[in-house]
Structure 1
């Protein structure tokens, strides 16, 4: 998930996707059919690639597509953004499924995996990724889990990240506080947030999005896991457990009792305020380093605070989803291209060039990673923090609706209008229907 955890919950588009595709499929609907069975690597093939990228990244995508096709002259790749924004891709895919104009490869947010798999239009890559040449086990576990829905692998990780703690060194120095460490507890975090807050100056210790989007929701999951809780129990909501209540209460105390937490109604303001010196600490991802660098901010990065020594974080991998057009050559060629793009060599030219974390641990030794860490000193910390991403968000078709319900609950609690227990119970009750149908 790229900045600013920009995942708008497009419930209407997701519903359309499921409706137009007649989506009652499961992992066995293709009866084990391999979309690439009979693939001829020498066949003339034209692939459509929806990259979902910004202008600069789109230029790089087209350059890499040209590099691949130069080495594979029988393959033509038509690369386009696919939609005006990445968020709009789900709507374009929905329309494409009903008109048979969907691409061979598309960028997708990880939380769309359940809906896309349920469309019946994705390739089943489960056996393909067992090929040693794919290096599937080299990819972060959270990313592999996100690419898998109902036991079916539908794509490759396109981007990996995680939440860590970023802090403004000048504000810590001015307050006479020691910098955060990887061993911090949430009590340490709360204490520092209180000392950094000076509302007379418009300065807060930390911040949280209360827009109700996925940016609101996924910040709660690390604390839930640290307390030993689960998001789901099978198809039933489990986030409203004692662990979930304790996790949300951690943030409520800072927002309501201490008033040390800036509440962002939009998702868009808290990082600029951090970069401008109005917020001491944020829980964010690698994309925040790009903006902080541009702002000339002197900042540091540590792992998330922990509970009882558990510093689990959450990763929000995005995907390259591969689609089935009942053409073995298109299916096979799309697999080969994405395998190349996500290889150690290809990814160094892609994600590291864009300022993202590398997909593979083996990239640690590349010149591109050395340059990345030099430009973004916190990059090494984010890379190491992938080891703390031990669980993944559910890849079920009901996740989007559940996330919206949880996000609304968090917003109510942090704004002091409802208790953590009541709000999470209400969110669970609202989510049961969507999850039962997933």
Structure 2
């Protein structure tokens, strides 16, 4: 189940956001309050979500929730158009990377006061989810999904090469050495594959390495780039060594060949998320946490891409019903039902730490529980600044220039840092 959660808002979106107007008024109907929920769930997720909506409608006869499928990566543009026309949805599933843009929409409900109420149990959501939903103190949504990156490896290729499988104590030196041993040019076999299209997915794979090396994306007040540090160079040098020197790193320029090449025995390791597990049907595989850098206090950090349920103010009655529905949908009981029904990671720590839930998830799709446990290694999120699309583009180009042997890590990062500083300064 491959999802594109990391799409970045287009630059033109910001102008639309700033021009957006508020939602419409309450309906004069004397029947149940009707609210529309936009989401991108399909297949199993769609079926489970529909079941939950039906359950809510049965248990809340004063509210009628209708669901409308909308492709996830198009929702921001559709929402902006709807807001401008006074026809915003009442609730929409929206990418966490859009939070700074969402915060600019006047019709979006600030959930800060709501989630501060004890019965919401806001602290039960993973810290990274709460951070990604908060922009300058405004809570723009409630967590709808969470994921992370870990090592997924082909157990047979490791055994055939006589290489010990990854351990929780692996360093990037261990990872690099194993990848080299698992590379066989005569077979077209590589130790590792990385998305290499300069997109946010490419950047997403570099950021945990940056954090593990002790670095960060921006400075403490989000005014300047910080990734062109010694730590940033160290992380990018690791990629350079594997791609250019060792030639153990396969550059997937299409960003869609990972599971296919792993199933065919051409790639021994992916650093990917739980969404790829269901595609690995032809091999025995294992899941292990990210490597770290020896001597660094960055630990085995990973990255998360939380998405949110965003509520829009379409009048008091609809707003109240929408907030109540989101509260119900994201309560522990429904989080558990959705996770067990779909295999998605639970968005609440109380469910993620339930041994019975972990066992059931792993029985359905082996390795899922390792990703749930890996959520404890999510310590940082991407900066919630409007200029992040520019930062991502600059970093993506820098990473690719190094992977292709066209630039040195320090030079590439300095160039990206200048572009980042210009964007943050509005130049």
TM above 0.5: yes
> Which residue in the other structure is 1:68 paired with?
56
Q: What pairs up with 1:373-384 in 2 under 5 angstroms? A: 373-384=362-373
- Alignment counterpart, residue 312 of structure 1, candidates 262, 276, 301: 301
In 2, Cα distance between equivalents of 1:90 and 1:396: 16
Deviates more, 1:271-280 or 1:174-183: 271-280
Q: Does residue 17 of structure 2 align to residue 21 of structure 1?
A: yes
Q: What runs of 5+ residues in structure 2 fail to find an aligned partner?
A: none
What whole-Å deviation, never above 9, does each CA across 1:32-76 have from its counterpart, x for those lacking one?
Answer: xxx9xx9xxx98321111112224422322221111011111111
Q: Does residue 360 of structure 2 align to residue 371 of structure 1?
A: yes
Q: What runs of 5+ residues in structure 1 fail to find an aligned partner?
A: none
> Which residue in the other structure is 2:149 paired with?
163
Q: Does residue 3 of structure 2 align to residue 7 of structure 1?
A: no
In 1, Cα distance between equivalents of 2:178 and 2:334: 42
- Displacement, 1:79? 0.4
Q: Secondary structure at the match of 1:118?
A: coil
In 1, Cα distance between equivalents of 2:141 and 2:57: 21
Count the aligned residue pairs. Answer: 416
In 1, Cα distance between equivalents of 2:85 and 2:285: 49
Check conservation: 1:256, 1:414, Cα contact below 8 A.
yes
Q: Secondary structure at the match of 1:144?
A: helix
- Displacement, 1:105? 1.1
Q: What pairs up with 1:58-207 in 2 under 5 angstroms? A: 58-82=46-70, 85-207=71-193
What whole-Å deviation, never above 9, does each CA across 1:130-182 have from its counterpart, x for those lacking one?
Answer: 11111110111001100111221111111111111111000000000111101
Q: Residues 275 and 216 from structure 1, CA distance in 2 versus in 1: closer, same or farther, beyond 3 angstroms?
A: same
Q: Secondary structure at the match of 2:65?
A: strand
Q: Does residue 280 of structure 2 align to residue 284 of structure 1?
A: no
Q: Does residue 237 of structure 2 align to residue 249 of structure 1?
A: yes
Check conservation: 1:212, 1:408, Cα contact below 8 A.
yes
In 2, Cα distance between equivalents of 1:133 and 1:56: 30
> Which residue in the other structure is 2:416 paired with?
427
In 1, Cα distance between equivalents of 2:86 and 2:129: 29
Q: Does residue 44 of structure 2 align to residue 48 of structure 1?
A: no
In 2, Cα distance between equivalents of 1:392 and 1:127: 23
Q: Residues 263 and 184 from structure 1, CA distance in 2 versus in 1: closer, same or farther, beyond 3 angstroms?
A: same
CA-based RMSD: 2.3
- What TM-score do you get using the length of structure 2 for normalisation? 0.92
- Displacement, 1:405? 1.7
In 2, Cα distance between equivalents of 1:391 and 1:7: 16
- Displacement, 1:288? 1.6
Q: Does residue 336 of structure 2 align to residue 340 of structure 1?
A: no
In 1, Cα distance between equivalents of 2:387 and 2:313: 23
- What TM-score do you get using the length of structure 1 for normalisation? 0.90
Q: What pairs up with 1:384-423 in 2 under 5 angstroms? A: 384-423=373-412
- Displacement, 1:24? 10
Q: Secondary structure at the match of 2:103?
A: helix
- Displacement, 1:338? 1.2
Q: Residues 73 and 253 from structure 1, CA distance in 2 versus in 1: closer, same or farther, beyond 3 angstroms?
A: same
> Which residue in the other structure is 1:240 paired with?
228
In 1, Cα distance between equivalents of 2:206 and 2:73: 22
What whole-Å deviation, never above 9, does each CA across 1:345-371 have from its counterpart, x for those lacking one?
Answer: 101222331111111222243755432
- Displacement, 1:372? 1.1
- Displacement, 1:390? 0.8
Check conservation: 1:348, 1:369, Cα contact below 8 A.
no
- Displacement, 1:10? 4.3
Check conservation: 2:95, 2:308, Cα contact below 8 A.
yes
Q: Residues 433 and 323 from structure 1, CA distance in 2 versus in 1: closer, same or farther, beyond 3 angstroms?
A: farther
> Which residue in the other structure is 2:255 paired with?
267
Check conservation: 2:20, 2:83, Cα contact below 8 A.
no
> Which residue in the other structure is 1:226 paired with?
212
Q: Secondary structure at the match of 2:190?
A: coil
Deviates more, 1:370-379 or 1:174-183: 370-379
In 2, Cα distance between equivalents of 1:16 and 1:410: 25
